Amino acid sequence: MNKRKILIILENKPGALARVVGLFHQRGYNIASLHVDAVEDVSQYSWLENNLSINLKPNEVSEMTISTTVSDTLLTQILRQINKLIDVLYAEEKI
């Protein structure tokens, strides 16, 4: 069991945050801390734009950081579950 940080980029839409938080609760994962902000300066995410062949506009997506204490296998499972949410563009461990 280790303390991990997860970075999530998701659509800045009503209800999107609740889906991520709800998922942690439903699946029995704990949240130690959570931070979320709309992304004003999208230039820092040009790598994501390239990966997905998309163009981001200011405040169109939110950046969320969640820290949680989990094992390696559970972390993989959590990331896959988060990525499965329709509004999520990207979720990875933040190192």
Stretch that binds another protein, among 33-41, 63-71, 83-91 (CB under 8 A): 83-91
If one asks whether residue 8 binds another protein (CB under 8 A), the answer comes out as no
Tokens standing for 38?
């709309």
Q: Given candidates 76, 92, 93, 94, which one binds another protein under the rule CB under 8 A?
A: 76
Comparison of 4 and 56: residue with beta carbon closer to another protein = 56
Residue environment code for 4-17, b if the CB has 16+ CB neighbours within 10 A, otherwise e = bebebbbebeeebb
Binding mask 18-57 for another protein (x = CB under 8 A): xx--x---x-------------------------x-x---
Q: Given candidates 44, 71, 84, 93, which one binds another protein under the rule CB under 8 A?
A: 84
